[in-house]
Structure 1
Amino acid sequence: MIYGLTTLGVIHTLISLVAVAAALTAFARDKGIVGPSTLGRVYIWTTVLTCLTGFGIFQHGGFGKPHVLGIVTLLVLGVAWLADQRKLGAASAKVAVISYSLTFFFHMIPAVTETSTRLPLGAPLLPGHEAPELKAITGVMFLLFLAGVTLQLRRLKAQGK
């Protein structure tokens, strides 16, 4: 075990880091995750793989909240894909922006939770997954998600989409 992770946990974590890096690069370069772009496809497929590998991790006593989050993430990615295919009519561009940003927010929940409850080794920042600080951090991340989506939607509107 590395940092308390199984082999599958290590693979899952590495794939998720690629997804997060792709998303952050897309936000910086393209001002959002653009599904049809190369960077967008890297984000989408590594997010799918992150969810799928996450289904095999049962460190906290069986099927639970992280698995539900994986299912919801896959469903939201499906909605984003439909939007990219223009299957949602005039709202497609907006739905894609919201959906991709939401999946990134979903990535950040376990990223912050697992990092803050595991690191530094031997003296993690937070005592466990139910620490009240995690609820506050998740709330702040949600506000950042809302701000980011708002900026992206304003940009779409200015572009006439």
Structure 2
Amino acid sequence: MTPFGMFHTAISLVAVIAGVAALVRYKEIATATSAGRLYFWGTVASCVTGLFIFHHGGFGVPHVLAITTLVVLAVAYVAEKHATFGHLSRYVAVVGYSLTLFFHMIPGLTETGARVPVGHPLFTGPEDPTLRAVVGVCFLVFLVGAWLQIMRIRAGRPLVASP
């Protein structure tokens, strides 16, 4: 792994840890919290640095995922800050931020699983059926988490934020 790749990975790990911390502590990711802000900006930095990594010679699926993540982040941020979607804005923000956390899992699992353990990696590559199954389980976890977050919002529970 190149030094730039290590830097990108470190940023991504910080973002994921911040996102999980926000979910555990506040039950949602929001930029009104310090963990949410760290997640947001870490994810932006992860996507931007990821756009400069070319494993197979050119623009590919990982780059599309990075751009998609940036678009979803932007929509979630606008929904959170400007209530662009009216009464649905908080739902759009919460589910959008959670979706981007799921997006982190795809390259994270793919790249880590293709390298670890050294000499006998867990996955042969992006097409490995086991990897696809693990990503599928992560998607189910996202769906359940999004549903729980939606139910929490519908119950009228506000975000309890720290500065």
Bin for the TM-score computed over the shorter chain: over 0.9
- Percent identity between the aligned chains? 52
Count of residues in Structure 1 that have an aligned counterpart in Structure 2: 157
2:79 equivalent in structure 1: 83
**Matched-pair contact (CA < 8 Å) for 1:36–1:84:** no
Q: Does 1:133 align with 2:130?
A: yes
Deviations 1:98-125 (A, max 9, x none): 1000000000111111111110111111
Q: Does 1:94 align with 2:91?
A: yes
User: 2: CA distance between counterparts of 1:14 and 1:160?
Assistant: 34
2:121 equivalent in structure 1: 124
Opposite residue 47 of structure 1, the aligned amino acid is: T
Higher relative contact order, chain-length normalized (CA < 8 Å, sep 6+)? 2
User: 2: CA distance between counterparts of 1:34 and 1:113?
Assistant: 27
Large movers: runs of 4+ above 6 Å:
none
Q: Does 1:25 align with 2:21?
A: yes
2:106 equivalent in structure 1: 109
Gaps of 5+ in 1: none
2:38 equivalent in structure 1: 42
User: 1: CA distance between counterparts of 2:7 and 2:105?
Assistant: 17
Q: What is the root-mean-square deviation in Å for CA atoms of aligned residues?
A: 1.1
Deviations 1:69-110 (A, max 9, x none): 000000000001111121221110100111000000000111
3-state SS, counterpart of residue 118 of structure 1: coil
Opposite residue 26 of structure 1, the aligned amino acid is: A
User: 2: CA distance between counterparts of 1:68 and 1:122?
Assistant: 29
User: 2: CA distance between counterparts of 1:10 and 1:160?
Assistant: 39
Opposite residue 28 of structure 1, the aligned amino acid is: V
**Which of residues 58, 65, 69 in structure 1 aligns to 2:65?**
69
Shift of 1:160: 6.3
Gaps of 5+ in 2: 159-163
